[in-house]
Amino acid sequence: MPATIRDVAKTAGVSISTVSKVFNEYTDINQKTKKRVLAVAKQLDYAPNMAARTLSSKTQKTIALILSELNINRKSTMPLEVLSGVYKYTEQSDFEFVFYGTSTEKQKEKTFRQFCNEHNITGAVVQGLKMTDSYYQEIKETNIPTVLIDIDMRNPYVGTVSIDGEQAAFEAIEYLISQSHHNIGIINGSRDALVSILRENGYRRALVANGIQLNEAYVQYANFEEDIAFLIAQNLLKNNKKITALFCTSDIMAIGAMRGIKEMGLNIPNDISIIGFDDIILSKYVTPALTTIAQDAEALGFESAKLLSDIITGNTGLPQLRIIPHELKYRDSVKKNERN
């Protein structure tokens, strides 16, 4: 049975009105008391349901998009495209739409259930979780309707919408191999991000399928950061002269790698071929235009909201895992290797 405000007050040794004032952010509560109440609330997994404060909330159903480690910039608009997809679905449904950002640190302050209860969230679409995040572990056991983008979980209340990231990476490496590249480096994202693991699996599988020995020195991580990829690309190529191609598991990292390669006085694609991942808007405008794996981020958002609606309304017999098509965009950053 869920904890009540009375349980929190009793455990914290304060009055019910004090607990109420803490959650309503009254200024006449000292910080020591506030911290004690919040700590007890977290321990008991208690959160006030804000819906109870308004009459209209009795019938309102709300879908939330929760983005972890939100990173929107002029070069990558993928989070906004996912948001647009979720919003477009809610516009044609009876659901309200809200959006929140979170982080690894914020997740330590409140449980996933507390967060959803506090904000009157009926169900959540979550993107960007790392396997080391506390929400990742909680969602494994949650009974709150949830859809994860790019993460598959065996929980009847949790669905997944994703592209086949491993297969997409496999196809990218197969294309490089078809162009006579056998020494292929990879600049991956984060070791604890499932998308990175899957894309690296595809890279490794393609090498094995083509009888190419993997060199572990060719596998590097840039945490999806352009400037880190810039440095890693230079270091990788200086220390591994045989590399003729790079596979970057995001376009942002590919753009950073391209800058690094050019600064070394090398030519793309004559000296080094490069493939990215995502097909962000900028990828077709860089020089040379970037060969990349395209995924439809707006479709990911739309299908996630649609699947979440099915879970909330109890539509059974529907797949909990929905795969969005991907496409390898052939542009100008790959050339047949003539070094062999």
pLDDT of residue 52: 46
Determine whether 100 is exposed, middle or buried from the number of CB atoms within 10 Å of its CB (0-12, 13-18, 19+).
Answer: middle
The domain defined by 1-46 folds into 434 Repressor (Amino-terminal Domain) (1.10.260)
Query: Model's pTM, two decimal places?
Result: 0.79
Domain range annotation of the chain = 1-46, 165-294
Q: Point out the residues of the chain with pLDDT beneath 70.
A: 1, 25, 49-60, 70-76, 316-319, 340
Rg of the chain over Cα atoms, rounded to whole angstroms, equals: 24
Tokens of 163: 């592209």
User: Of 22, 299, 12, 1, nearest to 162 (Cα)?
Assistant: 299
Residue 185 and residue 204: Cα distance in Å, rounded? 11
Task: Say which DSSP state 340 is in.
Answer: -
Right CATH for 165-294 from 3.40.50.2300, 3.40.190.10, 2.40.37.10, 3.40.47.10: 3.40.50.2300
pLDDT tens track for 84-131: 999 999 999 889 999 998 888 888 888 999 999 888 899 999 998 888
pLDDT of residue 231: 98
